[in-house]
Chains A and B, each alone.
Chain A
């Protein structure tokens, strides 16, 4: 399922996804059509643009919340946005939500990345844009616990935060899964977090930790 108000872009993304063996069961140009189509076709996942008519602000996010409320975790949601603001991604992850992702819009240009995120979301995992994670990490750069991590450990942390499994991290960094597991253990230790084999809960823990850096009270 694909929701994007720009018809050309929507068609392009749809074709890209089909080429990557993803079945596109519906295309919507606005939030209302999207909700109707989701009800009718029950897709595995939805790709939705944040900005859609009528006000072109955060209709996509609201639609995502509506889908979540209506269909629970049966429908994975991948939000596309032009904004790197971490707040949007964190909002999606709130309340222990599974099967959500937040990618910058230009990721559609690298179809592999888009499809990978979509698959993770459809399977109930998470996918957070690397640039968003980069910002979150930057915010905590003066944190002594983060400073205690080695560069490799920080790389692992970033990939974990994006929602990748140990296996995927290992593949990305060209190391064995065991190495990643060991690094994960050390990272969690240093950050004072409890390690868990559940990928999703692990992402939550890491994101929550990163998010706690923001002293925004409210």
Chain B
């Protein structure tokens, strides 16, 4: 078993063991309780139901929201609930302990109300309030342990005070009379804190707080009411069936309310899941992302301030810089970073902070979007670079061919003509004197040189059509059509002379296509159309041949596709067998 799964086991079994202990504790309390101590058997089930409902609530919350600490407090309420039951126990010690500690679950419940929904006390005021309530409780515990003088024949069958032989019951009476009101007031303050939190919150926070605040109010009323009844009857614990059932029912209700509230929090998390699924697909403008976040979190006031590297600040939608640490009450700022660099800041209802899981989910969603955008930008940038470098490669190849053609033309070709001319002159100078064989040889040499020049001219043209750079595309295409061994119908509509790269691409498209037509198509004629179209040049080459052309690796057609795409153009091929071939090439002209 790995360390990880061991940890998971421990995490899973801890709460279960705790709940099991609580259940057993409750059963023990019921077993010890004596009907003759003023506790009828009919109380057993409601008593267990109230305590166990908090244990169950703790388990559920633990499962629903593993990061939330409320479950521990819920279980504490469930366990402490049974303290009061021990007051009716047969044993004197157990009875006294139960009597003294009764009401502990109310203190924990107040704690829970203050700490909900995170399970932690956020402010000093909350801690102070809880401290005051705990002190009240401690005073009463002490009073019951040391100052209580059980009256004869009334109240519980509690043991007599065994620590201090005090006979004067006035001290205890004073504490006993003041405690219910003081505690109810403390609980009321805890409730008021929850209500204030509710008022501060926007929709997501309110959704969570409503059930808890509502049942908190019910518990407060119930506390006050049961104290009134008990004070009137002078009893430490309720004796009337109806009252006990009411108290137990209200507690079970409160336990349910906490689960429901925390469950609602979960549904807002699933809204984040929706948010991630519904993130704008491309070019997510910050305002669209903001709208999606607002919808998902139910916080219409949410703002997204994107990080601007140029200004080194988070820039809000209205262009203002976000001032760190400065904001209206009830608003919180969450900074989102990725790979140690700032991405954006969220300005939102601080209630969202009460669920760290929710915030981290939002942060992850925004970071995901930002990363997506960045990756897309990088990819587009790289693609543009690749396209540019491909265009550069083609252009440099063309430039090199132009250079070779010029070198052939101005170098070898000129030289050959010059030599032939020199020979011709020699021939002319020696006319008369020389022997016929020599003159014949000279003449032949001149003729051969002339043929060499012709061949060189064709070779140079194959390397680069000089006419293209000298007179433009239209003339070069005419020349192509002229030299084709097939009749070519050339139709060139007026167009702005494109860039050298585009003109060269168009020239080679037509040249390669005409070569293919002659070689493969078994056509009787070909048609070449050149028109200006859609900010570019449309070049079409059609023949009436066999069709069935397809680009194969290393074929001329594939070379054409490469050349056309290098300048950002498109090529479409329509070559059904028996219906001729129609190649349509569009080249962009900036």
Within B455-483, which residues are at the interface with A (CB < 8 Å)? 457, 466-467, 469-471, 474-475, 478-479, 481-483
CB neighbours of B428 from chain A (8 A): 16, 19, 111
B494 located at the interface, meaning its Cβ lies under 8 Å from any Cβ of chain A in the complex:
yes
Which residue of chain A lies nearest to B493 when distances are taken between CB atoms in the complex? Answer: A217
CB neighbours of A51 from chain B (8 A): 409-410
Q: Known interface pairs A85-B467, A142-B525, A215-B489. Does A12 touch B425 (Cβ–Cβ under 8 Å)?
A: yes
CB neighbours of B474 from chain A (8 A): 216, 218
Judge whether A111 and B424 touch: CB under 8 Å: yes
Which residue of chain B lies nearest to A13 when distances are taken between CB atoms in the complex? Answer: B421
**Whole-angstrom CA separation of A218 from B490 in the bound complex:** 12
Judge whether B469 and A57 touch: CB under 8 Å: yes
A135 located at the interface, meaning its Cβ lies under 8 Å from any Cβ of chain B in the complex:
yes
Judge whether B421 and A108 touch: CB under 8 Å: yes
B450 located at the interface, meaning its Cβ lies under 8 Å from any Cβ of chain A in the complex:
yes
A71 located at the interface, meaning its Cβ lies under 8 Å from any Cβ of chain B in the complex:
no
B175 located at the interface, meaning its Cβ lies under 8 Å from any Cβ of chain A in the complex:
no
CB neighbours of B483 from chain A (8 A): 135
Judge whether A142 and B487 touch: CB under 8 Å: yes
Selected contact of B482 from candidates A56, A139, A217, CB within 8 Å: A139
**Whole-angstrom CA separation of A59 from B418 in the bound complex:** 21
**Whole-angstrom CA separation of A9 from B453 in the bound complex:** 14
CB neighbours of A167 from chain B (8 A): none
How far is the CB of A24 from the nearest CB of chain B, in Å? 14
**Whole-angstrom CA separation of A8 from B466 in the bound complex:** 23
How far is the CB of B152 from the nearest CB of chain A, in Å? 127
Which residue of chain B lies nearest to A9 when distances are taken between CB atoms in the complex? Answer: B418
**Whole-angstrom CA separation of A84 from B457 in the bound complex:** 10
CB neighbours of B449 from chain A (8 A): 109
How far is the CB of A57 from the nearest CB of chain B, in Å? 4
B287 located at the interface, meaning its Cβ lies under 8 Å from any Cβ of chain A in the complex:
no
Chain A interface, >50% SS class: helix
B414 located at the interface, meaning its Cβ lies under 8 Å from any Cβ of chain A in the complex:
yes
A133-169: CB near B (< 8 Å → 1, else 0) gives 0011011011000000000000000000000000000
How far is the CB of B483 from the nearest CB of chain A, in Å? 7
B406 located at the interface, meaning its Cβ lies under 8 Å from any Cβ of chain A in the complex:
yes
A106 located at the interface, meaning its Cβ lies under 8 Å from any Cβ of chain B in the complex:
yes
CB neighbours of A12 from chain B (8 A): 418, 421-422, 424-425
How far is the CB of A124 from the nearest CB of chain B, in Å? 27
CB neighbours of A58 from chain B (8 A): 470-471
Judge whether A86 and B482 touch: CB under 8 Å: yes
How far is the CB of A26 from the nearest CB of chain B, in Å? 19
CB neighbours of A215 from chain B (8 A): 489-492
How far is the CB of B567 from the nearest CB of chain A, in Å? 23
Q: How many A-B residue pairs have CB under 8 A?
A: 99
A116 located at the interface, meaning its Cβ lies under 8 Å from any Cβ of chain B in the complex:
no
B79 located at the interface, meaning its Cβ lies under 8 Å from any Cβ of chain A in the complex:
no
A155-187: CB near B (< 8 Å → 1, else 0) gives 000000000000000000000000000000000
Selected contact of A85 from candidates B421, B446, B479, CB within 8 Å: B479
**Whole-angstrom CA separation of A96 from B55 in the bound complex:** 111
CB neighbours of A39 from chain B (8 A): none
B420 located at the interface, meaning its Cβ lies under 8 Å from any Cβ of chain A in the complex:
yes
CB neighbours of A87 from chain B (8 A): 467, 471, 475, 478-479
A15 located at the interface, meaning its Cβ lies under 8 Å from any Cβ of chain B in the complex:
yes
**Whole-angstrom CA separation of A106 from B469 in the bound complex:** 22
How far is the CB of A174 from the nearest CB of chain B, in Å? 22
Within B398-439, which residues are at the interface with A (CB < 8 Å)? 406, 409-410, 413-414, 417-418, 420-422, 424-425, 428
Judge whether B467 and A83 touch: CB under 8 Å: yes
B306-347: CB near A (< 8 Å → 1, else 0) gives 000000000000000000000000000000000000000000
Selected contact of A56 from candidates B410, B413, B422, B479, CB within 8 Å: B410
**Whole-angstrom CA separation of A87 from B449 in the bound complex:** 27
Which residue of chain A lies nearest to B424 when distances are taken between CB atoms in the complex? Answer: A109
Total number of A residues with any Cβ neighbor in B under 8 Å: 35
Judge whether A109 and B482 touch: CB under 8 Å: no
A82 located at the interface, meaning its Cβ lies under 8 Å from any Cβ of chain B in the complex:
yes
B138-169: CB near A (< 8 Å → 1, else 0) gives 00000000000000000000000000000000
CB neighbours of B385 from chain A (8 A): none
**Whole-angstrom CA separation of A13 from B467 in the bound complex:** 25
Q: Known interface pairs A8-B418, A58-B471, A109-B417. Does A85 touch B478 (Cβ–Cβ under 8 Å)?
A: yes
A95-113: CB near B (< 8 Å → 1, else 0) gives 0000000000110110100
A41 located at the interface, meaning its Cβ lies under 8 Å from any Cβ of chain B in the complex:
no
A6 located at the interface, meaning its Cβ lies under 8 Å from any Cβ of chain B in the complex:
yes
CB neighbours of B493 from chain A (8 A): 217-218
How far is the CB of B457 from the nearest CB of chain A, in Å? 6
Selected contact of B420 from candidates A84, A88, A109, A214, CB within 8 Å: A109
Within B512-530, which residues are at the interface with A (CB < 8 Å)? 525
**Whole-angstrom CA separation of A217 from B492 in the bound complex:** 6
B454 located at the interface, meaning its Cβ lies under 8 Å from any Cβ of chain A in the complex:
yes
Which residue of chain B lies nearest to A83 when distances are taken between CB atoms in the complex? Answer: B467
Judge whether A106 and B414 touch: CB under 8 Å: no
How far is the CB of B272 from the nearest CB of chain A, in Å? 63
**Which of A85, A86, A136 has the most chain B CB atoms inside 10 A of its CB?**
A85
How far is the CB of A118 from the nearest CB of chain B, in Å? 16
**Whole-angstrom CA separation of A53 from B483 in the bound complex:** 28
**Whole-angstrom CA separation of A12 from B416 in the bound complex:** 12
CB neighbours of A138 from chain B (8 A): 482
Which residue of chain A lies nearest to B421 when distances are taken between CB atoms in the complex? Answer: A12
Which residue of chain A lies nearest to B481 when distances are taken between CB atoms in the complex? Answer: A139
Q: Known interface pairs A85-B479, A215-B491. Does A6 touch B418 (Cβ–Cβ under 8 Å)?
A: yes
CB neighbours of B410 from chain A (8 A): 51, 56
**Whole-angstrom CA separation of A215 from B469 in the bound complex:** 22
Judge whether B479 and A216 touch: CB under 8 Å: no
CB neighbours of A142 from chain B (8 A): 487, 525
How far is the CB of B468 from the nearest CB of chain A, in Å? 10
Judge whether B494 and A141 touch: CB under 8 Å: no
**Whole-angstrom CA separation of A88 from B467 in the bound complex:** 10
Within A170-215, which residues are at the interface with B (CB < 8 Å)? 214-215
**Whole-angstrom CA separation of A122 from B483 in the bound complex:** 31
How far is the CB of B417 from the nearest CB of chain A, in Å? 6
Residues in B lying within 8 Å of A, measured CB to CB? 406, 409-410, 413-414, 417-418, 420-422, 424-425, 428, 446, 449-450, 453-454, 457, 466-467, 469-471, 474-475, 478-479, 481-483, 487, 489-494, 525
Q: A19-B428, A82-B466, A215-B491 are in contact. List 16 more A-B contacts (CB 8 A).
A: A16-B421, A16-B424, A82-B409, A83-B467, A87-B475, A106-B450, A106-B453, A106-B454, A111-B424, A136-B482, A142-B525, A216-B474, A216-B490, A217-B492, A217-B493, A217-B494
Closest 8 CB pairs of A and B: A12-B421, A218-B494, A142-B487, A57-B470, A87-B475, A8-B418, A135-B482, A85-B479
Residues in A lying within 8 Å of B, measured CB to CB? 6, 8-9, 12-13, 15-16, 19, 51, 56-58, 82-88, 105-106, 108-109, 111, 135-136, 138-139, 141-142, 214-218
6 contacts across the A-B interface (CB closer than 8 A): A16-B424, A57-B469, A85-B471, A87-B479, A141-B487, A217-B492
